[in-house]
Structure 1
Amino acid sequence: MSHVSSHSPHGQSPLRTVQVLGGGSAGSSAHVRSLASGLVARGVRVTVCAPGEADRTYDFTGVGAVHVPVPRSSDPASVAALRTACADADLVHAHGLHAAFRASLALSGRPVPFVVTWHSRAHAEGARGHLLRMLERRVAKAATVVLGTTSDLVDRARSRGARDARLAAVALPPRLPGDDDPDRPRSKARAEVGANDRPLLMAVGTLDRDRGHETLLDAARAWCGLDPVPLLVVAGEGPLRPVLQRRIEDEELPVRLVGRRDDVGELIAAADLALLPSSWEARSVLAQEALHARVPLVAAAAPGIPELVGDAAELVPYGDAEAFGEAVVRLLADPGRRKLLVERGARQTATWPTEDETVSQVLSVYDELTQPLPLS
Structure 2
Amino acid sequence: MSHVSSHSPHGPSPLRTVQVLGGGSAGSSAHVRSLASGLAARGVRVTVCAPAEADRAYGFSGVGAQHVPVPRSSDPASVGVLRAACADADLVHAHGLHAALRAVLALSGRRVPLVVTWHTSAHAEGARAHLLRLLERRVAKAAAVVLGTSSDLVDRARRRGARDARLAAVAFPAPRTPPVEHGDPDRLGHKARAELGATDRPLLMAVGSLDPHRGYDTLLDAARVWRHLDPVPLLVIAGEGPLRTVLQHRIEDEGLPVRLIGRRDDITELLAAADLALLPSRWESRSVLAQEALHARVPLVATAVGGTPELVGDAAELVPYGDAEALAGVVERLLADPERRELLKEKGARQAASWPTEDENVAQILSVYDELTQHRPLAKAGRT
Both structures adopt the same fold (TM-score exceeding 0.5): yes
- Is the 1:101–1:139 Cα contact (8 Å) retained in structure 2? yes
| Whole-Å separation in 2 of the counterparts to 1:182 and 1:192 | 18
Note if 1:260 corresponds to 2:260.
no
Give me the TM-score of the superposition, normalised by structure 1. 0.96
| Whole-Å separation in 2 of the counterparts to 1:349 and 1:190 | 25
Gaps of 5+ in 1: none
SS where residue 351 of structure 2 aligns?
helix
Note if 1:369 corresponds to 2:372.
yes
Gaps of 5+ in 2: none
Query: How many Å apart are 1:226 and its aligned residue?
Result: 1.4
- 1:30-41 aligned at under 5 Å gives the runs 30-41=30-41
Query: How many Å apart are 1:345 and its aligned residue?
Result: 1.1
- 1:267-346 aligned at under 5 Å gives the runs 267-346=270-349
Q: Which amino acid aligns with 1:56?
A: R
| Whole-Å separation in 1 of the counterparts to 2:147 and 2:112 | 17
- Is the 1:222–1:329 Cα contact (8 Å) retained in structure 2? no
Give me the TM-score of the superposition, normalised by structure 2. 0.94
SS where residue 210 of structure 2 aligns?
coil
Aligned counterpart in structure 2 of residue 251 of structure 1, from 250, 254, 262: 254
2:68 matched residue in structure 1? 68
Between the two proteins, the alignment pairs up a number of residues equal to: 373
CA deviation string 1:66-86 (max 9, x = no partner): 000001000000000000000
| Whole-Å separation in 1 of the counterparts to 2:253 and 2:47 | 50
SS where residue 171 of structure 1 aligns?
coil
| Whole-Å separation in 2 of the counterparts to 1:327 and 1:180 | 34
Structure-2 change in CA distance of 1:122 and 1:318 (3 Å):
same
Structure-2 change in CA distance of 1:94 and 1:180 (3 Å):
farther
SS where residue 258 of structure 1 aligns?
strand
Query: How many Å apart are 1:7 and its aligned residue?
Result: 5.2
- Is the 2:211–2:241 Cα contact (8 Å) retained in structure 1? yes
- 1:1-376 aligned at under 5 Å gives the runs 5-6=6-7, 8-9=9-10, 11-175=11-175, 178=178, 181-183=181-183, 185-372=188-375
Q: Which amino acid aligns with 2:110?
A: R
| Whole-Å separation in 2 of the counterparts to 1:292 and 1:116 | 28
Structure-2 change in CA distance of 1:111 and 1:167 (3 Å):
same
Identity of aligned residues (%): 78
Structure-2 change in CA distance of 1:260 and 1:341 (3 Å):
same
| Whole-Å separation in 2 of the counterparts to 1:177 and 1:156 | 33
Query: How many Å apart are 1:12 and its aligned residue?
Result: 3.1
- Is the 1:7–1:14 Cα contact (8 Å) retained in structure 2? no
SS where residue 330 of structure 1 aligns?
helix
CA deviation string 1:329-351 (max 9, x = no partner): 11000011111111211221121
| Whole-Å separation in 1 of the counterparts to 2:192 and 2:240 | 20
| Whole-Å separation in 2 of the counterparts to 1:130 and 1:328 | 37
| Whole-Å separation in 2 of the counterparts to 1:295 and 1:279 | 21
Structure-2 change in CA distance of 1:177 and 1:231 (3 Å):
closer
CA deviation string 1:116-168 (max 9, x = no partner): 00000011011111110000000000100000000000000000000000000
Query: How many Å apart are 1:6 and its aligned residue?
Result: 2.4
- Is the 1:7–1:15 Cα contact (8 Å) retained in structure 2? no
Q: Which amino acid aligns with 2:32?
A: V
| Whole-Å separation in 1 of the counterparts to 2:177 and 2:35 | 16
| Whole-Å separation in 1 of the counterparts to 2:259 and 2:226 | 15
| Whole-Å separation in 2 of the counterparts to 1:22 and 1:276 | 25
- Is the 1:180–1:262 Cα contact (8 Å) retained in structure 2? no
Structure-2 change in CA distance of 1:285 and 1:180 (3 Å):
farther
| Whole-Å separation in 2 of the counterparts to 1:111 and 1:8 | 25
Pick 1 or 2: higher relative contact order, CA cutoff 8 A, min separation 6: 2
- Is the 1:149–1:282 Cα contact (8 Å) retained in structure 2? yes
Q: Please, what is the CA RMSD of the aligned residues?
A: 1.6
Q: Which amino acid aligns with 2:27?
A: G
Query: How many Å apart are 1:5 and its aligned residue?
Result: 4.2
Query: How many Å apart are 1:181 and its aligned residue?
Result: 3.9
| Whole-Å separation in 2 of the counterparts to 1:179 and 1:44 | 31
| Whole-Å separation in 2 of the counterparts to 1:197 and 1:8 | 57
| Whole-Å separation in 2 of the counterparts to 1:101 and 1:339 | 45
| Whole-Å separation in 2 of the counterparts to 1:15 and 1:8 | 10
Structure 1 ranges of 4+ moved more than 6 A: none
Query: How many Å apart are 1:232 and its aligned residue?
Result: 0.3
| Whole-Å separation in 2 of the counterparts to 1:332 and 1:42 | 48
